[in-house]
Amino acid sequence: MDRQLFTLVNHDWASASLDLLMAAMPSFDLWLPFLILAGLVTLGLGGFKARAFIVCALLVVAVSDGIVSNSLKKAVNRPRPNQSETGVRIVTLRKAHPQLLALLQPPLIKASKPDTEPTSGRSFPSSHIMNNFAVAMTLALFYRRFGWLAFFPAALVAYSRIYVGSHWPSDAIISGLLGVGVALLILPGFELLWRTVSARIAPALHTAHPSLLELQPNLHAAC
């Protein structure tokens, strides 16, 4: 089932009109300048809630990527589709400086050949997907009304990782759930820490902002 669904996304549903978008979505080098700019603007001009979100999102990603994802990759050691299967469509952006200029060129597309020597499997989980879903969940908890919209680009990133030949569908689905789970496990701890520590070291700020996630004051006892 996993291989059949992968073939559908990577081959049967592939289109020249989608190749550039699918290659661009997970490109960290492409999006990094925009993310840094957005983060700096938010930290400089945003209010308490926006700044708290940036800090919490960075910490959640640090745990998701640096601890959970890396540990599971080493433990599971699952080869990527393009490492273990012949003929997988590998779709990547061309090298450019800055990377944004790669969007003006057609992407590189080649067919995979299985590695002849043992290689470290990096397919499960997907750090790209885990991090995006962890941030989406964080945004949804901070901004209840519209934050859930962040799951749409996160889902597109997940789809793109299958499309470009880097991950199996099961990798994408479970990685997304793991990212959400990491955020749901960590953020209540941040909430409890803020409620207890800020009341001691910054009582005025705590009075103005008693909760990071705008939970009811009496809920902190249950955290």
Separation CA 62–CA 114 (nearest Å): 32
CA dist., res. 101 & res. 94, Å (int): 9
Mean pLDDT within 127-152: 96
Is 165 strand, coil or helix? coil
68 pLDDT band, cuts 50/70/90, is: very high
The answer to whether residue 222 scores a pLDDT higher than 50 is no
- Alpha carbons 65 and 110: distance in angstroms, whole number: 28
Encoded tokens for 106 = 């057609």
Q: Name the nearest CA neighbour of 187 among 52, 69, 70, 68.
A: 52
SS3 at position 108: strand
Q: Tell me the one-letter amino acid at 176.
A: G
Local structure of 206: helix, strand or coil? helix
Hey, how many other C-beta atoms are within 10 angstroms of the C-beta on 93? 23
Task: Give the SS3 label for residue 110.
Answer: strand
Q: Is residue 69 within 8 Å of residue 134, measured between CB atoms?
A: no
Which letter does DSSP use for residue 26 in this model? T
Predicted confidence at residue 214, as pLDDT, reads 74
| Interval 110-115 mean pLDDT | 85
b/e per residue, 117-127, with b = 16+ CB within 10 A? eeeeebbbbbb
Query: How does the average pLDDT of the chain come out, rounded?
Result: 91
Distance of CA 200 to the CA centre of its chain: 34
Structure tokens at 164: 């470009």
Q: What letter represents residue 30's amino acid?
A: L
Average pLDDT of span 147-175: 97
Mean pLDDT of 86-95: 95
pLDDT at 119: 66
Mean of pLDDT values over 138-166: 96
pTM: 0.91
The kind and range of the H/E element at 11 are none
Task: For residue range 3-61, list pLDDT tens digits in order.
Answer: 999 999 999 999 999 999 999 999 999 999 999 999 999 999 999 999 999 999 999 99
Q: CA-CA distance, 88 to 115, in Å (whole number)?
A: 13
pLDDT at 121: 73
Mean pLDDT of the region 156-174: 97
For residue 219, pLDDT over 50 is answered with no
Rounded to whole angstroms, how far apart are CA atoms 29 and 102? 11
Residue-level pLDDT at 198? 87
Torsion sign across C-alpha atoms 215, 57, 128, 45 = positive
